[in-house]
Each structure stands twice: as C-alpha cells, then as structure tokens.
Amino acid sequence: MKGKSLVGGLAVLVAVVALTVPGNAWAKSGKTFLASSDAKESDEPQGYLPDYAKLVKGDDADWVYFPNGSLKSYKTVLIKPFTSNTGGDHKIEGKHAAEYGPEYLTKWLEKQGFQVVESGQTDMVVEGNIFNAWEPSGAGRFWGGVFANPGAGEEVICKDSKGTILGFIRHKSRGSTLKDAVENGLEEIAKSIAKGK
C-alpha cells in the first residue's frame, strides 16, 4: 500500500510540474509586447508608436515604455487630437473613439495631478491613437456575455516641449459602451504616465 501512495504522489507531482513549467515559460516570453499574443492580432495594426520592441508589461496599462520612469515632474500638458488607424469593419468606431480621447485623457491626467492646457508652452505634449474599436451587435452581446462588451485599443506618445520622446503606451480596454471603454483605457494610461510603469 505504501508503494501505491508513493506512485500516486509522484504522479501528482509530475502533473503539477508539467502544468507549471509551460506557464512559467509563457510568463517569461510574455513580458515584452512583441513576444506576446497581443502583437499577433491581425485586426490591431501597429505602426503608430515609434518602437513596439521597447514595450514591456505595465502595471496599470497593458504595455509601456518609460526610459526615465515617472513623468510627474512634467506639470503642464497639452493633449493633441487623437487619430485612428483602425481598419476594416471597425473604421467608423475607431473614428468615434478617437473623438473621445482628448476629453477623457484630460480628465484622468488632471486626477493624477497634471495641469492640462489648451495652448502655449508646456512641459509635455501627449499624442494619441485608437488602433481598434468594436461595438458588438445586439445578438453578439447576448450570446457573448461579458466577453462581447464594446472595447477600444489606445496608444499614447508623451514628448517633452522639444519633441523628445518621454514614453509611450499601448492598452486595450472594455466598457459598457464604446465611450466607456475609451474612458476606462485612458484612466489606466493616465495612471501609467504618472507612475512611469
């Protein structure tokens, strides 16, 4: 009987190790954007940010690059109108999502202690892009449940007053409406800008 429990115990140990090792290997390979499954999404274009290879897993936003950490020392911020490179069936949703960008980013950056200005000399300039936006149909929302909520993909570049890149971010978010998804995403992006990670 002792032999059977030892064999059973070894079988459980082998199963646990087999399930754990691929997970750890995936976690290590998923720490950079280009090594992640996010980089392989065919309907989510890349090309807006200067270098996707520099993006790493963020604390609040999905993927971030901040070579010098927090941007809190840049007190005044100018937010430029957002663009959209969303293509295919979601082009119109992308355009609408881009229209919401500056308003919501202003709201959330101000909550992080930044002063957003409309013109003049500033410490930091923020540019944004919507790389994907979707609003499921009624039937899709019914059958898909929580996974069929509207969503958006946001990208933001932060530059100093001379145009030097201070950091950039890529993030996907969901919400009860497209507008809500954009706001949710930009809230996380504002936290990442303040923290620098």
- C-beta separation of 159 from 74 below 8 A: no
- The answer to whether the CB of 155 falls within 8 A of the CB of 48 is yes
User: Which residues in the chain land under pLDDT 70?
Assistant: 1-30, 137-147
Q: Where are the beta strands (DSSP E) in 34-135?
A: 56-57, 63-65, 76-79, 83-84, 115-117, 124-134
Please enumerate in sequence order all residues whose Cβ is within 8 A of that of 27, keeping only pairs 6 or more positions apart, or say none: none
pLDDT at 145: 59
Q: How far is the CA of 185 from the CAs of 24, 53, 80, 151, 152, in angstroms?
A: 28, 21, 17, 9, 8
pLDDT score for 12: 39
CATH class of 37-195: alpha beta
SS3 content of the chain, % helix, strand, coil (to 5): 45, 25, 30
Alpha-carbon distance 33 to 126, whole Å? 21
pLDDT, tens digit, 9 for 90 and up, residues 109-157: 999 999 999 999 999 999 999 999 998 765 555 555 555 789 999 999 9
pLDDT of 8:
43
Q: What integer pLDDT is reported at residue 175 of this predicted model?
A: 94
Tell me, what's the pLDDT at 62? 97
Closest of 125, 126, 136, 129 to residue 98, by C-alpha: 129
pLDDT value, residue 141:
52
Residue 138's pLDDT is 59
pLDDT score of 137: 67
